[in-house]
Amino acid sequence: MSAPIISPSILAADFSRLGEELAAIDTADWVHVDIMDGHFVPNLSFGPDITATVHRSTDKPLDVHLMIEEPEKWVETYAKAGAHTIIFHVEAVADDQAAVDLAQRIRDLGVRAAFSIKPGTAIEPWLDKLHHFDEVLVMSVEPGFGGQKFMPEMLEKVRKLRRSIDDQGLDTVIEIDGGISPETIGAAAEAGCDAFVAGSAVFKSDDPAGVVKQLRDLAAGA
Ligand code: DX5
Ligand code: ZN
């Protein structure tokens, strides 16, 4: 298995010091960018201009998590803003065919395509569509806010995904998002996650780079 991927969520960063905050996570693999529209989730974050600013301020791949309605209207914009991966929610598209079509459009833009599922959404209907996606983002909190408590029952979804990806011989990456910390990352890694988003655990610490390393070591050792 390749080394665990750690993707700090800049939602928890101090935006008045964005450059320094990004420099403080130089041990990270990716940077997770949470886009919230105040409709799909009850919170607003930022949009394509800030995403482009983040892209200019770091050489790390941007993992762009669209918690927005009508994601199909925005993929070109976020590709242009510098996304390395575009993650949309299956709850925000009309049906499974629309999700597959959107993934293809994202890939045609030269960007990795991913879908995310909320805690209440079942994974089973998506297992035979995994080959259309480079990654799946499993939410382990209700999307909308950082700093929430990890939902361990979401690991059952991860186990089902892991089994299905391995059985089909795919290399789809499983990423998990919400409440990931030194206390929870081991269980998520054991269940089969490859990539881990962490917001508060990293940016609310005095040593963000150290926490990133610690998270990677804990995931690798699980
Ligand atoms: C939640 C976001 C997460 C969030 C993670 O809606 O998608 O990426 O920033 O933050 P923590 O790690 O604090 O749960
Ligand atoms: Zn996120």
The pLDDT value given to residue 43: 98
Protein residue with least CA distance to atom 7, ligand 1 = 143
- To the question of whether residue 45 is assigned a binding role by annotation, the answer is no
164 has pLDDT over 80: yes
Give the 3-state secondary structure of 99-146.
Answer: HHHHHHHHHHCCCEEEEEECCCCCCHHHHHHHHHCCEEEEECCCCCCC
Mean residue pLDDT of the chain comes to 98
Tell me whether strands 62-67 and 83-89 are parallel, antiparallel or unpaired. parallel
Does the annotation flag 7 for ligand binding? no
Ligand 1: residue of 7, 41, 89, 141 to mutate (most ligand atoms within 8 A of CB) is 141
Q: Any residues with Cβ below 6 Å from ligand 1, and which? A: 9, 11-12, 32, 34, 65, 141, 143-148, 177-180, 197-201
Determine the pLDDT at residue 2: 85
Residue 63 pLDDT greater than 70, yes or no: yes
Using one digit for the tens of pLDDT, what is the confidence trace for 170-213? 999 999 999 999 999 999 999 999 999 999 999 999 999 999 99
User: Using one digit for the tens of pLDDT, what is the confidence trace for 5-53?
Assistant: 999 999 999 999 999 999 999 999 999 999 999 999 999 999 999 999 9
| DSSP string for residues in 190-215 | HHT-SEEEESHHHHTSS-HHHHHHHH
Calculate how far, in angstroms, residue 85's C-alpha sits from the geometric centre of ligand 2.
12
**Ligand 1 atom nearest to 143, measured from its CA:** 6
Q: List 67's β-bridge partners, or say none.
A: 36
Distance CA(56)–CA(171), nearest Å, equals 29
Q: Both tokens of residue 68?
A: 């927005």
Q: What domains can you pick out in the chain, each with its CATH number?
A: 3-219 (3.20.20.70)
Rounded to a whole number of angstroms, the distance between the first and last alpha carbons of the chain is 12
pLDDT in the model for residue 1 = 63
AA letter at 192: G
Question: What pLDDT is attached to residue 65?
Answer: 99
Surrounding residues of ion ligand 2, Cβ less than 5 A: 34, 65, 177
9 is in an annotated binding site: yes
Q: Please indicate if the annotation marks 179 as binding a ligand.
A: yes
Which one, of 205, 151, 167, lies nearest residue 28 by Cα? 205
Sheet hosting strand 195-198, strand order edge to edge: 5-8, 195-198, 173-177, 135-139, 112-117, 83-89, 62-67, 31-36
Mean pLDDT to the nearest integer, 85-93: 99
Residue 86, token pair as written in the block: 């575009």
Instruction: Label residue 134 by pLDDT band (50, 70, 90).
Output: very high
pLDDT reading at 153 higher than 80 = yes
Q: What is the dihedral of CA 25, 27, 29, 34, to 10 degrees?
A: -10
- Ligand 2 centre to CA of 147 (Å) is 11
How many Å apart are CA 165 and CA 49, to the nearest integer?
Answer: 35
- Rounded to whole angstroms, the Cα distance separating 121 from 90 reads 9
